[in-house]
Amino acid sequence: MQLFLDTAILDDIKKGSETGLVDGCTTNPSLAAKAGKDYNEVLKEICSIIKGPVSAETVSPDADGMVKEGIAFSKIAKNIVVKVPMTVEGMKACQQLTKKGIRVNVTLVFSANQALLAAKSGAFFVSPFVGRLDDIGEVGMDLIKEIKLIYDNYKFKTQILVASVRNPIHVLDAAKIGADIATMPYSVFEQLFRHTLTDVGIKKFLEDWEKVPKKS
């Protein structure tokens, strides 16, 4: 399973990239606003660090506007993937952009039917938001299971990009189900490395090493 960072904070992206374990990045204007930078400039900088897919989100409400934005985004770097929302207009834009050879990430997906429509529209990625479903009392990972079943049934090539990941358990569950990608904040990515027993073991090894006789 591929691991993406969901952020526009360049320092976090650089730190993640340095591990050699980050495969891509998802971002949006809201994340760029938190970083306090112009969105297009942020995208250029991210694409200079991350060589895998970098999702750039459109904001137009209509298909024509989304397509125009998507074409502009695609000129920033070859690894840009254009994000469009799961709406009627978004699906129109997805089909038009796909025909132009521009990869599309359909975002804000909350049902298996929506994911089916995204795949039929030629989406490269579909982004179901598991954390937001958890927030309203549903089990977000149940949606990933449903999408995986449907995509396997019909051999859709659209990749499942699990979004709104809040904790390492979401990452684990996504991997167990067979999702293609999980995108997460840097704080969650950091947590994947940690385990209390690992820390205890390292401490014990170092303590024992100090007891080993050293040649003078």
Q: Which of 37, 44, 51, 83 is catalytic?
A: 83
Contacts of 216 by beta carbon, 8 Å cutoff, 6+ apart: none
Is 165 in a helix, a strand, or coil? Answer: coil
**Distance from first CA to last CA of the chain, Å, rounded?**
49
Strand-pair category, 2-6 with 125-128: unpaired
- Stated length of the chain: 216
Instruction: Name beta bridge partners: 162.
Output: 182
How far apart (Å, rounded) are the C-alpha atoms in residues 110 and 88? 15
Distance CA 11, CA 82 (A): 23
For this structure, is 83 an active site residue? yes
Q: How many CB atoms lie within 10 A of CB 205?
A: 10
122 membership: H or E segment, kind and range: none
Inter-CA distances, 186 with 8, 11, 17, 107, Å: 10, 10, 11, 20
Active centre residues (catalytic): 83
